[in-house]
């Protein structure tokens, strides 16, 4: 579940529809959406709009790798880390315009 709190303290909760979600890091994207990592499925990068619509993106690299941190970069892309068995290995990038 991901929650949103407005300045007037209205709380809205959005269920995450994926099965086996292992919510990791979360960041605000330059496109106005939330981006987060899900290490519990093949769809490791997830975009959620302010209305709760979810788009899942498959892991771009090794199926067995796990995703870690995620952040919005100054170049307008979303950057994330991947590791295998806890050993840091790769940095990934995804365009929010997808």
Give the mean pLDDT of 84-90: 70
Q: pLDDT tens, 38-58?
A: 866 666 788 999 888 888 887
Written in H, E and C, the secondary structure of the chain is CEEEECCCCCEEEECCCCCCCCEEEEEECCCCCEEEEECCCCCCEEEECCCCCEEEECCCCCCCCEEEEEEECCCCCEEEEEEECCEEEEEEEECCCC
pTM above 0.85, yes or no: no
Give the mean pLDDT of 55-84: 82
Higher pLDDT, 81 or 11: 11
Average pLDDT of the chain? 82
- Domains of the chain as residue ranges with CATH: 2-94 (2.40.10)
């Amino acid at each position: 579940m991901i929650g949103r709190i407005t300045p007037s303290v209205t709380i809205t909760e959005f269920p995450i529809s994926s099965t086996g979600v292992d919510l990791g890091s979360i960041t605000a994207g330059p496109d106005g959406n939330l981006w987060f990592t899900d290490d519990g499925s093949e769809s490791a990068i997830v975009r959620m709009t302010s209305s709760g619509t979810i788009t899942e993106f498959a892991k771009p690299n090794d199926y067995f790798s796990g995703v870690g941190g995620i952040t919005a970069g100054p170049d307008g892309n979303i950057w994330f880390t991947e590791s295998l068995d806890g050993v840091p290995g790769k940095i990934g990038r995804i365009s929010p315009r997808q």
